Structure 1
């Protein structure tokens, strides 16, 4: 029984060995290895990406800031004395010239004082002339003449004071400009400091904005700035005419003012402006789209395509704009920069570029 069992086991082992030998000769196991290798190759299939061919071009280092349009000159018209308005001599929203009479306030009492002073002045002048004549003939003393002269000077000073008070009852335009909406009516009683209307000169206008402290030395008188306002399409150019001589300790910024002709009065004071100021311009700069730049510890890297495979490049960056970054080291003109699939690509991975463009500068 034991011998029979041993013989059966031996036969099974021999058959198994023969099966393995035949399978190896037939390539059964090599087929499985090929399938495994094919699976590995499939995991290394080319990644579909887009790319651009880099070319040098112009790049401006631009800072942006929020600005405000200011009137060239603006003043609230108000009375210097209390009184009733006797006449309003302007229409709302119209242009006036410097010196035009705009408002008169009741001055009847002052005019009466002026007439009284006129009579007193005439009498004082006659008295001084008579005493001067007598003094020349030594008919009166010097003291008598001095009293007559003092009386004349006093009356003249009173006349000048009354005239000054009368001038305060008249409001005139201090400069050429446009009258806004009036806040009073004819016959209203006004007090000192009460706003009657606003006079504004809008040609030219001023552009006020701030620049960070580190750029304050780059802004000089005569520099040109670009700005945009919501009420008008396009970009406008203003010229810097003054800067604040100090840095604001709260904002760490310097205030700057520029002027814009505004010859058509199309920009109104108080409008918001988006300001762009060019610090410097580079003629042959290599730039890459911001989305192609990969930050890493201690710097940045990008991927380029070389001979159908991705190649990592460590780069140094310079000027940044809203959508591009200057590369100062690590890339050259003519390099093919991978711009999509950044998260999946790896160094040495096969890539298939389905869309390639030449960088426009």
Structure 2
């Protein structure tokens, strides 16, 4: 039993001596540990990197909307009548006040002509009564009666002329006439649709954005938009903001106008809209994959003097594939953008500048 205990003590003493000999040779610190791991794992890895430079950044909101006519109206009749003449063709551009349709007006013209003869008769009567009044041959009441009769007939003519004008449908503004729903010789009732009239230059866009942007969007801000029909971008300007936030969607409605001189854009088209809220001329942008989220913020890996260095950063605006860095980096810094999970502080890497 004593021999076994002595043998065990000898083994323990030998292990302690070996440990004291090996301990000074164990690498100290994170940098040496990383280098040891790197040496054990093979040759240095190659990573992509970008050299930071100041550039322009547009803070944009992307949304969708619809195109609207600048002005549109349904042309219809105010009075009933037979359609005597249609003075437009479908798709025709017309000017404000241009005659588009005429209803039969023979009856009302005859009534106006009849009243004009009555006016002539009453004018002669009023003249004679005025002469008699000047000679004091009649009372002033008799003259007033004759004058009132004359003025009444004149007023009746004005009423008929107003009714006559309703037999003619004219363009209320410059625009393009759509497809008509009537034919010459047909009978038109009040309110019956004739056609649509559209003014599409300029053309309007209506869209919504989240209400959190209400403090930074203003009348006069520029928008860019595309439609499915063309492989090009169009520009416009916001001219009106709805003074109420939608309580259901918590969004705010805006309208913009865009030049449509070429007539390429039509009401009802779907539009993809990009609204520029602000332009930063000296922004620092890094690839989104280069930014590593942490519990207390974010960091990136920099390449300095041949090795990897981590750096805490504060981010700002995010674009489709890049992120603005507000603080922590400077122009000229080399930011590593690939192999993020394979590198660590103090590691030596090969660099591929993008």
Q: TM-score, normalised by structure 1?
A: 0.79
Secondary structure of the structure 2 residue equivalent to 1:255: strand
What residue in structure 2 maps to residue 159 of structure 1?
Answer: 157
What residue in structure 2 maps to residue 101 of structure 1?
Answer: 99
In 1: Cα distance, 2:214 partner to 2:249 partner: 13
Cα pair 2:238 2:256 within 8 Å, conserved: yes
In 1: Cα distance, 2:187 partner to 2:290 partner: 70
Q: For residues 75-154 of structure 1, what are the structure 2 equivalents within 5 Å?
A: 75-154=73-152
Q: Residue 135 and residue 194 in structure 1: after superposition, are their counterparts in 2 closer, same or farther (change >3 A)? A: same
Secondary structure of the structure 1 residue equivalent to 2:342: coil
In 1: Cα distance, 2:274 partner to 2:67 partner: 14
What residue in structure 1 maps to residue 342 of structure 2?
Answer: 345
What residue in structure 2 maps to residue 254 of structure 1?
Answer: 252
What residue in structure 2 maps to residue 304 of structure 1?
Answer: 302
Cα deviation for residue 88 of structure 1 reads: 0.6
Cα pair 2:221 2:277 within 8 Å, conserved: no
Cα deviation for residue 235 of structure 1 reads: 2.5
Cα deviation for residue 153 of structure 1 reads: 1.9
Q: For residues 1-361 of structure 1, what are the structure 2 equivalents within 5 Å?
A: 41-43=39-41, 46-342=44-340, 344-348=341-345, 350=347, 352-353=349-350, 355-357=352-354
In 2: Cα distance, 1:136 partner to 1:269 partner: 69
Deviations 1:281-317 (A, max 9, x none): 2222211112222333343233333455443333211
In 1: Cα distance, 2:296 partner to 2:42 partner: 30
Cα pair 2:200 2:260 within 8 Å, conserved: yes
Q: Is 164-173 or 253-262 further displaced after alignment?
A: 253-262
Cα deviation for residue 214 of structure 1 reads: 3.1
Q: Residue 40 and residue 235 in structure 1: after superposition, are their counterparts in 2 closer, same or farther (change >3 A)? A: closer
Secondary structure of the structure 1 residue equivalent to 2:339: coil
Cα pair 1:95 1:176 within 8 Å, conserved: yes
Equivalent residues, number: 324
In 2: Cα distance, 1:334 partner to 1:135 partner: 105
Cα deviation for residue 90 of structure 1 reads: 0.7
In 2: Cα distance, 1:39 partner to 1:109 partner: 106
Cα deviation for residue 122 of structure 1 reads: 2.2
Q: Residue 107 and residue 129 in structure 1: after superposition, are their counterparts in 2 closer, same or farther (change >3 A)? A: same
Q: Residue 239 and residue 39 in structure 1: after superposition, are their counterparts in 2 closer, same or farther (change >3 A)? A: closer
In 1: Cα distance, 2:259 partner to 2:276 partner: 20
Cα pair 1:309 1:349 within 8 Å, conserved: yes
In 1: Cα distance, 2:276 partner to 2:38 partner: 53
Deviations 1:209-239 (A, max 9, x none): 3343333343334333222223233323223
Deviations 1:296-352 (A, max 9, x none): 33432333334554433332111121221101122233333222233x335337464
Secondary structure of the structure 2 residue equivalent to 1:93: coil
Cα deviation for residue 247 of structure 1 reads: 3.4
In 1: Cα distance, 2:334 partner to 2:257 partner: 45
In 2: Cα distance, 1:40 partner to 1:313 partner: 21
Secondary structure of the structure 2 residue equivalent to 1:218: coil
Please identify the structure whose Cα radius of gyration is greater.
1
Secondary structure of the structure 2 residue equivalent to 1:203: coil
Q: TM-score, normalised by structure 2?
A: 0.81
Deviations 1:180-211 (A, max 9, x none): 11111112222222221111222222233334
Q: Residue 44 and residue 297 in structure 1: after superposition, are their counterparts in 2 closer, same or farther (change >3 A)? A: farther
Secondary structure of the structure 1 residue equivalent to 2:127: helix
In 2: Cα distance, 1:137 partner to 1:253 partner: 81
Cα deviation for residue 43 of structure 1 reads: 4.0
Cα pair 2:46 2:352 within 8 Å, conserved: no
